[in-house]
């Protein structure tokens, strides 16, 4: 009979390696402000405002996952999920493209979503 070997993972004794984000548009924090605006911070320290007033007041979002966000209480329930801004208002959750948001904020200090 062959001796039984115990599996040992090839992992350094200090534990799991630190995860480092390699994309600057990874969102680290978000907070809801008055008038359907957000304040966001990215992993590289860039901060700015996202203005969703025009977008959320547009008739084109009627019946979409974004429509409930017209309500300030629902809008305030915003968070960060895997580096992106997201609201928990449905099975899929409404979210915004962090790369587009980052580019606008980096160049202009704010992103006005139309």
Non-local (6+) Cβ contacts of 69 within 8 A are 36, 52, 56, 75, 87, 89, 94
Q: Looking at residues 35-52, what average pLDDT do you find? A: 96
pLDDT band, residue 12 (cuts 50/70/90) = low
Domains of the chain, earliest start first: 27-112 (3.30.2020.10)
The pLDDT, as a whole number, for residue 58 is 96
Higher pLDDT, 89 or 112: 112
Distance CA 104, CA 64 (A): 24
Q: Which position has the higher pLDDT, 8 or 94? A: 94
- Per-residue pLDDT, 101: 95
State pLDDT tens for residues 78-106: 999 888 899 877 546 788 889 999 999 99
- pLDDT in the model for residue 94: 83
Long-range residue pairs from 18-25, CB within 8 A, at least 24 positions apart, any chain: 21/83, 23/83, 23/99, 24/102, 24/106, 25/83, 25/98, 25/99, 25/101, 25/102, 25/103
Least confident segment among 15-24, 46-55, 87-96, 105-114: 15-24
The token pair that represents 31 in the structure block: 């907070």
Q: How big is the chain by its Cα radius of gyration, in Å?
A: 20
């Amino acid at each position: 009979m062959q001796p039984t070997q115990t599996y040992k993972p090839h992992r350094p004794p200090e534990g799991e390696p630190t995860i480092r984000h390699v994309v600057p548009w990874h969102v680290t924090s978000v907070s809801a402000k008055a008038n359907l605006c957000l304040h966001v911070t990215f992993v590289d320290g860039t901060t700015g405002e996202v203005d969703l007033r025009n977008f959320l007041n547009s008739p084109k979002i009627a019946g979409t996952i974004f429509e409930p966000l017209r309500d300030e209480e629902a809008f305030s329930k915003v968070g960060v999920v895997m580096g992106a801004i997201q609201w928990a208002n449905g099975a899929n959750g409404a979210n915004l493209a962090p790369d587009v948001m980052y580019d606008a904020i980096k160049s202009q200090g704010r992103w006005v979503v139309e």
